[in-house]
Amino acid sequence: MTETPPAQPNGPQNGRPGQDGRPYGQGHPGPGQQSGPGQQPGPGYGQQPGYQPQPVQPMRPEDEKLWATLIHLGGIIFAFVPALVGYLVLKDRGPFIREHTRTALNFQITMAIVYVISAILSIIVIGGLLALVAGVLVIIFSIIAAVAANKGQWYKYPLTIEFIK
């Protein structure tokens, strides 16, 4: 007596068709099979056939100045968040916006450290005074930086630790 090998589910031995109605081996690979030579893999998940990512387009100088100005002014109210988002999103759009977002982010991180130190020192009176001085410096230097960015000039904040080079 000869034993018959067990049928593989959805395989060519049992004659069941694949997902598109064709039997396995006719036009597409079956389970555990690789694509044949000359066959191109289909598009990736969420991509349409023929999709090619486009390179990042540089910004116009007017747009770079506008975004740099907004990032500097946004730091007055929202601390380091506008500078961080601007740096991550816009740094590849031009050298002017990259430098302004980098300097704004370094300044805002430095001021965040000063605020943490002033919170720790708030046990004694000097912590409140340090927070007040830091708040005034943020307002003054951010306005100066925003004006310089709006004029298309480079600006470097004083009293800043360079975290991002």
Interacting residues of 44 by C-beta distance below 8 A, sequence separation 6+: none
90-102 confidence digits (pLDDT tens): 999 999 999 999 9
Question: pTM for the full model?
Answer: 0.67
148-159 confidence digits (pLDDT tens): 999 999 999 998
Residue 27 lies inside a defined structural domain of this protein: no
Interacting residues of 34 by C-beta distance below 8 A, sequence separation 6+: none
Nearest to 27 by CA among 47, 13, 18, 44: 18
Residue 90 lies inside a defined structural domain of this protein: yes
Domain that holds residue 140: 61-150
Residue 162 lies inside a defined structural domain of this protein: no
